[in-house]
Amino acid sequence: MKKSIKIFFSLLTTVTMAFGVVAPTVSAQDTNWDEVLTQINEVNQEVVSMEGDGTITVSADQFIDAALNFDFRYNVEEAFALELAGDVTGELVTTDAEGNPSSMPLDFAGQASIIDGIAYLFDGSSWTVEDVSAQEEQIAADFESIMSQAQEQAETINDPALTQKYFDLSETDSEYVMTLKQDIDSEEFWADIESQVNLEQIKQESIDQAIAQAEAAGEELTEEDRQMLQDQMDQSFEAGKKIAFQLVDNMEMRYSKDTYYLTYLVMDYSLDSADMEQIAADMGESTESLPEDFNVAFSMEFNFTNHGEVFDIVVPEGAPTFDEASSTEESATEGTESLEESTTEESVPAEETSEETTEVPAEESSVEETTEESSEAAE
């Protein structure tokens, strides 16, 4: 069951990437398509500070029904800083050896902030403070690489006709709206996409990035590991291409007419037992552990606002500073060492006492000698 869920989520990246290829182009009935396209592409290639909120829900029969709600904001103009707060609600369903299901409630609220290379993490009961400056640099490098690839793709896909072929385009008083069409011919879609971008190159870049991240984390990848990663990515891409339009129920994006920034994004996915059997077959996996009536629904909805503003992101209220956290950790370490030393010292007198105890017979011998001397004197 868990492997099946993993397979489902591994396809989302492929599917989302595919529709993202044609997503940058937006138009409306009385709009100059070329002008809107140019503005959208130029504006959204630049990474700027912003804030927003989101909801991610996942529901799988006899497994999970949960929702993650969160708010976020971040700065990138001067120094990177982030605030994120969220909560998880729902329930997780488990089955015992006899096949009897039971549910466990999911109830979690936490927050995370990154300021000046220091991460403050709150798990609902305690704080963890860590220096992540080294990881922050790696994240920034990876992010820059991804944005660079996205920019190259966006510059390649300046085709309003392709977008109008696969998206219903409309407008409100304040936004351009793009909605994925229904009943799209999958083979025709992928032929159009591959005529515009090199999917093999994108796939290989994803593999290279995964390898680089693993090596940066200290993992040693053998040639066998690399080949396995290559095979898994190949299978994921092919399975994603075959099942893409069966997975996606709805996809909609909105852009501000004033700024051309993305303001809203929603994606709804679902699949059932038949879909999973097809995916598993394409990826060489088994579906023996799947329930007969298997259904998964996955949804992501985001709102984005205040693009380009600089936010006052500070150390969260109630969180210890990095120095305080380090001092507390050192004190705890010293306390442990002191306790160990104290325990060792206290054990020494016990040994001496034991030795003194073993000398008692000698004292008894001295008493006997004194008694004998007293007897002689009496005589």
> In the prediction, which pLDDT does 156 show?
46
Percent pLDDT > 90 in the chain is: 24
| Strands annotated E in 152-247 | 167-171, 175-180
pLDDT in tens, 309-334: 999 999 998 888 877 766 655 554 45
Contact 47/308 with Cβ under 8 angstroms? no
What integer pLDDT is reported at residue 146 of this predicted model? 59
Q: How far is CA 221 from the centre of its chain?
A: 22
- Average pLDDT of the chain is 75
**Max avg pLDDT among 71-80, 304-313, 360-369:** 304-313
Per-residue model confidence as pLDDT tens digits over 162-220? 777 888 888 899 999 888 998 888 888 888 888 877 778 877 877 787 788 778 778 88
- Cα distance between the two ends of the chain: 101
- Stretch 264-283: mean pLDDT: 83
